[in-house]
Amino acid sequence: MIRSILTVTLFVRLAAAAAPVVTKVEPPDWPAAAKATTLRMLVTGGDFAGATVRSSLATAAVQASAAGTHLFFDLTIPAGARPGSYPIEIRTAGGQTQASFSIVPALDRSGRFQGFSPDDVIYLIMPDRFSNGDPSNDDPPVSHGLYDRAKSRSYHGGDFEGIIQHLPYLKSLGVTALWLTPIYDNANRPNQRETNSGAFTDYHGYGAVDYYAVDEHFGTLDKFRELVDKAHAVGIKIIQDQVANHTGPYHPWVHDPPTPTWFNGSEAQHLSNTWRTWTLIDPHATPEMQKSTLEGWFAGRLPDLNQNDPEVARYLIQNTLWWIGRTGIDGIREDTLPYVPRQFWRQWTTAIKEAYPAFRVVGEVFDADPGLVSFFQGGQQRFDGVDSGVDSLFDFPLQAAIAKVFTDRAPTRDLAQVLAHDSLYVDANQLVTFIGLHDLPRFMSSQNATSNGLERAFSFLLTARGIPMIYYGDEIGMTGGGDPDNRRDFPGGWPEDARNAFEAAGRTAEEQKLLTQLQRLTRLRAGSEALRHGRMVDLLVEDHSYAFARVTAQSLAVVVFNNAPQAVTLHIPLTGSGVVDGTMLEDSFGGAPAVQAHNSALDVGLAPHSVAIYRRRSDL
């Protein structure tokens, strides 16, 4: 009788316990490698309480979330494991199920994972706004209703195929690297957490709901791989935009976090980011002063990931390595860099460099103070004992000066005064310099902006130190105010457009002149070691004039700006320029007369609002 009761009780318990269910496996696969790799797997689903895990690959450290909806475990891929399917069996008292996992062939490293440097010219593309190469993904069934070109905050149809089709155009500009804003899968619904008026979608890519998937409006992972491979085939690198600071507001984790500390706070109770970035570089600041900046939700609504949780840190590091290994990209632009603990960046960059030594990272520190921005470049320990390992930063301080100097709202010496802070950086030559990007109003919509002013700004960008970056459409002087007006569609990227500015016939005379000048500048830079790698030496700094030299052991260039509305004659000392008396210098750009060095100086005459790039005949 007792045995019968126990049997019935056990049967009831087993019947009450449901079999585990798997809805997602992260990472879904991993490239084969010559050495053993241990992954921290995250399986999402349900009824994982008390689960055990079995596979032909070694497993360990199994841990289910309190709700039984997430399952962590270690999975070790042995050295030389063959590509193929390696299903994972998950068993509980209620039954068993399988989670899919595969090992995929490793990509050939030749021509991939290249990094970027001052040898490159970067071009920033927001995929949704560049070109619609595949109309079939404009309004996908899974996210129906988010496409509407008439609405500035809806999807417009740009995609990977549109970029592929215009690689020849990008090559003709002299572009050698593309930075694409995030391609993660975003919400399949309007973003009602956004406070802006009107329809709003996450067309920009910064509202991730799945870190291992591509947004269906842009294409597929295979199509992205095709873009990377075809860009590489024509000598163009790819820089992926990644976001480790926060998720999108509709990420499933928001209501079901894999660990209790996955986020800093919760949707119901959290800090808002107060943007007190200065506290992060302040040796006198307390952790309490820094807390809202490091743990606050971006704009008060983007869930802040807690990188101090080891499971979060490992997830993010693995995700980055997965994107690199699966796609062959060459670099990463890291969003909202300062708002993540610096010790995490040290772990993250160490893992990247160990696997891909030539790979490079540029971080966003959105501030015009070089004292603040410089703190976040890696290469040395700061007062906190951390070397972040981050190779490059965006030079927002220099951009702020460029925007004012070349619209006649600030003296030319402001450029030199920003560059005077270069000693604060570990290596200022690795900074990414730019005139505009997707978070700033377009140059041509600035007060006093002219096409000539933009030409001069490009001339400075392509001849000064750093890694120059061009925002899509600036090559033809596109206009646009604040977000989202600064993200207009590139004219000609859609078959129904009234004109096609990808072709000369579709450009105005002013647009053509600007684009032609930019092409000349990119060719000059590509052909001059001095303009790419030379030491920068200020020769003359005045209110409306600026002259500097770029000098290497084999090459030199002297660049002269006249920012005044009248012609000028300048006497330019040549100390430190490498130019010896008697040397003839010819203007490779603006058509100014050739000049000869005499008494360690140059006497140069320049037209109003003009630029000269002088080089020795032997350097031409």
Dihedral sign of CA atoms 340, 346, 352, 356 in order: positive
Structural domain containing residue 237: 122-414+433-490
Residues 6+ apart with CB under 8 A from 506: 491, 492, 499, 500
Give the pairing type, strands 331-334 and 237-242.
parallel
**Nearest-angstrom CA–CA distance, 344 and 528:** 38
- DSSP collapsed to 3 states, 272-341: ECCCCHHHHHCCCCCHHHHHHHHHCEECCCECEECCCCHHHHHHHHHHHHHHHHHHCCCEEEECCHHHCC
3-class state of residue 92 by DSSP: strand
3-class state of residue 9 by DSSP: helix
With tokens 């992205």, the residue in question is 224
Length, in residues, of the chain: 620
Residues 469 and 587 grouped into a single domain: no
* Under 8 Å between Cβ of 91 and 51: yes
Within a domain: 117:
no
Instruction: Identify the CA nearest to 217 among candidates 163, 152, 166, 156.
Output: 156
- Identity (one letter) of the amino acid at 345? W
Please report the pLDDT score of residue 6 as a whole number: 40
Within a domain: 389:
yes
**Nearest-angstrom CA–CA distance, 458 and 173:** 13
Within a domain: 315:
yes
Residues 442 and 311 grouped into a single domain: yes
Q: In which region does residue 564 sit, left (phi positive, over 0), alpha (psi from -120 to 50) or beta (all else)?
A: beta
Per the structure block, which two tokens stand in for 247? Answer: 């998720």
Residues 6+ apart with CB under 8 A from 221: 213, 214, 326, 327
CATH number of the domain to which 541 belongs: 2.60.40.1180
Our CA angle for 122, 124, 128, nearest 5°, is 150
Residues 6+ apart with CB under 8 A from 400: 368, 418
Per the structure block, which two tokens stand in for 52? Answer: 């055990």
The domain boundary residue, chosen from 104, 138, 163? 104
Go through 189-224 and write b for each residue having 16 or more CB atoms within 10 A of its CB, e for each that does not. ebbebbeeeebbbbbbbbbbbbbbbbbbbbbeeebb
Residues 368 and 441 grouped into a single domain: yes
Instruction: Identify the CA nearest to 431 among candidates 464, 404, 383, 455.
Output: 464
Residues 6+ apart with CB under 8 A from 485: 152, 441, 445
Burial class from Cβ neighbours inside 10 Å (0-12, 13-18, 19+) for residue 362 reads buried
Residues 330 and 446 grouped into a single domain: yes
Instruction: Identify the CA nearest to 60 among candidates 49, 68, 52, 50.
Output: 52
Go through 66-101 and write b for each residue having 16 or more CB atoms within 10 A of its CB, e for each that does not. eebbbbbbbbebeeebeeeebebebebbbeebebeb
Within a domain: 523:
no
The domain boundary residue, chosen from 76, 104, 132? 104
- DSSP collapsed to 3 states, 552-597: CCCCEEEEEEECCCCCEEEEEECCCCCCCCCCEEEECCCCCCCEEC
Within a domain: 378:
yes
Residues 139 and 38 grouped into a single domain: no
Residue 434, strand partner residues: 469
**Nearest-angstrom CA–CA distance, 613 and 447:** 27
Residues 557 and 486 grouped into a single domain: no
Q: What are phi and psi of 605, to 5 degrees?
A: -110, 125
**Nearest-angstrom CA–CA distance, 573 and 593:** 18
* Under 8 Å between Cβ of 424 and 371: yes
**Nearest-angstrom CA–CA distance, 167 and 227:** 9
3-class SS shares of the chain: helix, strand, coil, % to 5: 30, 25, 45
Within a domain: 326:
yes
Residues 98 and 169 grouped into a single domain: no
Please report the pLDDT score of residue 545 as a whole number: 98
Residues 89 and 129 grouped into a single domain: no
- Identity (one letter) of the amino acid at 114? Q
Per the structure block, which two tokens stand in for 384? Answer: 């906190």
What is the total count of domains within the chain?
A: 3
The DSSP secondary structure of 387-412, one letter per residue, reads -----EEB-HHHHHHHHHHTTTSS-T
CATH number of the domain to which 58 belongs: 2.60.40.10
Residues 269 and 198 grouped into a single domain: yes
Within a domain: 543:
yes
Cα–Cα distances in angstroms (integers) from residue 134 to residues 137, 153, 165, 494, in the given order: 6, 20, 10, 10
**Nearest-angstrom CA–CA distance, 201 and 215:** 12
Instruction: Identify the CA nearest to 48 among candidates 90, 104, 7.
Output: 90
Per the structure block, which two tokens stand in for 555? Answer: 């090459």
Please report the pLDDT score of residue 358 as a whole number: 98
**Nearest-angstrom CA–CA distance, 23 and 21:** 7
Q: What is the DSSP letter of 137?
A: G
Give the pairing type, strands 102-104 and 29-31.
parallel
Burial class from Cβ neighbours inside 10 Å (0-12, 13-18, 19+) for residue 287 reads exposed
Please report the pLDDT score of residue 431 as a whole number: 98
Residues 99 and 162 grouped into a single domain: no
Residues 97 and 148 grouped into a single domain: no
Q: In which region does residue 505 sit, left (phi positive, over 0), alpha (psi from -120 to 50) or beta (all else)?
A: alpha
Residues 381 and 244 grouped into a single domain: yes
CATH number of the domain to which 184 belongs: 3.20.20.80
- pLDDT < 70 positions in the chain: 1-16, 195-199
The domain boundary residue, chosen from 104, 131, 149? 104
Dihedral sign of CA atoms 295, 296, 297, 298 in order: negative
Cα–Cα distances in angstroms (integers) from residue 259 to residues 66, 242, 517, 567, in the given order: 8, 22, 54, 67
The alpha carbons of the chain give a radius of gyration, in whole angstroms, of: 27
Within a domain: 295:
yes
